[in-house]
């Protein structure tokens, strides 16, 4: 008589391990491609103009959102794109991070499939181009209905004291955005010390996209008609 697993739990664990090992190879390959693209996007960023800076910032945001969604599905647990949101211009590194530093964080599951509360960091942080800032004021939770995007405190480095308030976009374990229709808006301008928002020079100094339920994005063509953007 052939030996077979004696419990459904054991069989499910074996199947889950096999699928997870296979998807990990895919995950590493895709994340490597995303990392290369993000690195290329950052080359020469200090030399690009205002319009190009906004365009590059949006491309970086889309790449990180894709990475977060892939991680969420791979781990079958939530993953987030977080954006630094703590204003503290008295410390140079914090001034540089404010509304420019972005990172993907994710949770994992235990052997029983239960989500472990701890958030892990996926690689190093990524910064928007110089002079380009994320705008939580324009990045509404729903670009039709309005609302404020969620925030949470996240640890940004290995130091426990380096936890900051962050804006975030989250995907669940099925890769579904928990705030479908949310906007991701970046602006280009000079930010005076202590000011929450940079001073803009014109319409072309900002741009954005809407995050769809399936993780895709749709560009906002007319920044003055944000409310007209669909959320399907």
pTM of the model: 0.78
The mean pLDDT value for 115-138 works out to: 95
**The domain at 11-228 falls in which architecture?**
3-Layer(bab) Sandwich (3.55)
Q: How confident is the model at residue 205 (pLDDT cuts 50, 70, 90)?
A: confident
Sequence spans of domains, the chain: 11-228
Q: How confident is the model at residue 65 (pLDDT cuts 50, 70, 90)?
A: very high
Q: Is the pLDDT of residue 154 over 70?
A: yes
> Lowest-pLDDT range, 12-16, 56-60, 193-197, 211-215?
12-16
**Across the chain, where does the E strand assignment appear?**
79-84, 101-109, 115-121, 126-127, 132-134, 151-155, 163-171, 182-190, 199-200, 206-211, 217-219
Q: Is the pLDDT of residue 22 over 80?
A: no
pLDDT digits (tens, 9 = 90+) for 98-125: 999 999 999 999 999 999 999 999 989 9
The mean pLDDT value for 154-166 works out to: 94
């Amino acid at each position: 008589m052939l030996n077979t697993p004696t419990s459904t739990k054991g069989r499910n664990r074996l199947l889950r391990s096999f699928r997870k090992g296979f998807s990990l190879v895919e995950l590493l390959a895709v994340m490597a491609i995303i990392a290369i693209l993000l690195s290329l996007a950052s080359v020469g960023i200090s030399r690009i103009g205002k319009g190009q800076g906004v365009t590059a910032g949006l491309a970086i945001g889309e790449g990180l959102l894709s990475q977060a969604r892939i991680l969420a599905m791979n781990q079958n647990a939530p993953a987030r794109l977080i954006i630094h949101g703590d204003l503290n211009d008295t410390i140079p590194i914090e001034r540089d991070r404010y509304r420019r530093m972005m990172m993907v964080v994710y949770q994992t599951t235990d052997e029983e499939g239960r989500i472990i509360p701890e958030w892990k960091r996926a690689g190093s942080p990524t910064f928007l181009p110089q002079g380009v800032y994320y705008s939580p004021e324009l990045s509404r939770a729903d670009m039709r209905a309005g609302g404020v995007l969620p925030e949470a405190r996240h640890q940004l480095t290995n130091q426990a004291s380096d936890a900051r308030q962050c804006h975030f976009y989250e995907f669940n374990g099925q890769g579904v955005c928990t705030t479908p229709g949310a906007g991701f808006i970046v602006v280009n301008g000079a930010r005076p010390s202590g000011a929450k928002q940079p001073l803009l020079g014109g319409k072309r100094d900002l741009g954005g996209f809407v995050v769809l339920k399936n993780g895709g994005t749709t560009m906002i063509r007319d920044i003055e008609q944000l409310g007209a953007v669909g959320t399907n």
